[in-house]
Chain A
Amino acid sequence: MRHSAIFAVDSGQASTVSEERHARLVSIFSQNYRFVWRLLRRLGVSANAVEDAAQQVFLVVAERLDDIIPGSERGFLYGTVLRVAWTTRRGGMHEVLSDSFDAHESPAPAPSELADQHRARDVLDRVLARMQTDLRAVFILYEIEGFTTPEIAETIGIPLGTAASRLRRARSLFKRLVARLMAQSREKK
């Protein structure tokens, strides 16, 4: 871990953070750690880097706890996750924004091989990497995190109609990308 405990005070002094702030941080962390971790993963942060990235997100939360309006924690987390994911991905996985898959990439596994969850996630992330962030985020929140459209609109801070529209486009694009990947895979074989 790169960071020491933020509530530890130099020279062994007692924490100056109020019990209420502490309790709020515990609450936000406990309820959202999984959400943050999974969102980071699907936004392209590698398995090796995701723990540190999640820690960065919650450090930001801890530092800006007083600025977070009660009830808007998820929205704050979402924005922070996007920024941390972008920073973490630099030099690593990028959005490709293309419908085609590179020839040098390993072929997609056969449908029967997708029972291997690691392989399936690898393919999923290759597909998601080809979706622009706004569509990708909506797709992840709805399909993987189980949000409803109103919840997505609230979390991202967009009108409900926009959220629904993005979701339709994202699902359509996802299907198209999967079909193309599988077609390319068949051609290689």
Chain B
Amino acid sequence: MIDRMQRLLGFNRPVERALVEAGRTEEPSAEAFKRTASALGIGGLAGTSFLPLAAASGKSTLSTWLLISGVSLGGAVGAAAMFYESSEPAPPATLQAHAPGAARRQTPAIPRASNAASDVASPAEGRAAQEAPAREAIVSRTATPRVNARQETAASQASSLGGEVRALDAARRALMAGGGANVLQRLRDYERAFPSGSLTQEARLLEVEALALLGRSAQARRLATSLLVRNPESAHRKRLESLLETL
């Protein structure tokens, strides 16, 4: 996001910025992706990996995905995610400052055979059908009037969310590289590190996609259905329904 903004700020005129931004926001439809995948004979697998935004550049930050795609996690979370981003080291502003190879993309890994990771349990497995009743971040109710205390709390929450974003971003990169088993492992790490995380819905969505990538369609279908039932108003509803159609 910061990089995106810095690039836009390189244009002095609002018109220039608006034009470039318009180019950035044009996207192919999921239907076009599916049709082309089908024509190539890879519809079943590739259809699970069409993710909104940022994938093409190889800089798929989950935070960008969340903020740009309008996922409604609530203003506080969005603000915290922006705080996290702003706390990252700013990328160099000039061309000369780009160190060669510093941002080199990883070579896409070839997805492993569908059964290769069948021994990796889904993070959702072993869990009872019920989900923890409330996963909202615990907010202190002993807030004092002191501004500093509130700032510290906000900073702490942002730091925690930053960790969540990084963890899920790693999982998403693994998914983009076709490593379904690796995604599941990263999601388990995420759950251990953030048992009451703010981005658990995003984690579940990634889990569905990873299971589908691994060919564990029945599990993916069960999990997706369960998520839709539990969160009928989820911001990910369309994506989940779209995934279910491919399973």
Q: Is B148 an interface residue (CB 8 A)?
A: no
Residues of the B chain whose Cβ atoms lie less than 8 Å from the Cβ of A150: 98-104
CA distance A1 to B38 in the complex (A): 10
- How many whole Å from B29's CB to the nearest CB in chain A? 9
Residue of B whose beta carbon sits closest to that of A1: B39
- How many whole Å from A151's CB to the nearest CB in chain B? 6
Residue of B whose beta carbon sits closest to that of A34: B56
- How many whole Å from B70's CB to the nearest CB in chain A? 14
Q: Which of A15, A117, A154 contacts B22 (CB 8 A)?
A: A117
0/1 string, A101-114, CB within 8 A of B gives 1? 00000000001001
Residue of B whose beta carbon sits closest to that of A126: B19
Q: Which of A20, A50, A73, A111 contacts B18 (CB 8 A)?
A: A111
The DSSP consensus for interface residues of chain B is loop
Given contacts A111-B15, A149-B95, A178-B13, contact A7 B110 (CB under 8 A): no
Query: Once the chains bind, are B18 and A55 in contact (CB under 8 Å)?
Result: no
Q: Which of B12-29 contact A (CB under 8 A)?
A: 12-16, 18-28
Q: Is A11 an interface residue (CB 8 A)?
A: no
CA distance A120 to B3 in the complex (A): 22
Q: Which of A30, A71, A147 contacts B57 (CB 8 A)?
A: A147
Residues of the A chain whose Cβ atoms lie less than 8 Å from the Cβ of B22: 114, 117, 120-121, 124
Given contacts A26-B178, A151-B103, contact A164 B95 (CB under 8 A): yes
Query: Once the chains bind, are B20 and A143 in contact (CB under 8 Å)?
Result: yes
Residues of the B chain whose Cβ atoms lie less than 8 Å from the Cβ of A1: 35-36, 38-39
Given contacts A149-B98, A168-B95, contact A29 B18 (CB under 8 A): no
- How many whole Å from A52's CB to the nearest CB in chain B? 9
Residues of the B chain whose Cβ atoms lie less than 8 Å from the Cβ of A32: 56
Q: Which of A119-148 contact B (CB under 8 A)?
A: 120-121, 123-124, 127, 140, 142-148
Q: What 8 A-B pairs have minimum CB-CB distances, sorted nearest first?
A: A7-B41, A120-B22, A35-B56, A30-B49, A5-B41, A146-B57, A114-B18, A37-B28
B residues in contact (CB < 8 Å) with A: 3-4, 7, 10-16, 18-28, 32-33, 35-42, 45-46, 49-50, 54-59, 95-96, 98-105, 107-113, 176-178
Q: A23-B110, A31-B55 are in contact. List 4 more A-B contacts (CB 8 A).
A: A124-B20, A146-B7, A146-B24, A151-B104
A residues in contact (CB < 8 Å) with B: 1, 3-8, 15, 19-20, 22-35, 37-38, 41-42, 50-51, 54-55, 58-59, 62, 70-71, 73-74, 111, 114-115, 117, 120-121, 123-124, 127, 140, 142-151, 154, 160, 164, 167-168, 171, 174-175, 178-179, 182
Give 29 CB contacts A-B under 8 Å: A1-B35, A1-B39, A3-B39, A5-B40, A7-B40, A7-B41, A23-B111, A23-B113, A25-B40, A26-B45, A27-B177, A29-B42, A34-B27, A38-B23, A58-B36, A59-B40, A111-B18, A114-B15, A120-B18, A121-B22, A121-B26, A124-B20, A143-B23, A147-B57, A150-B99, A150-B100, A151-B58, A164-B95, A182-B15
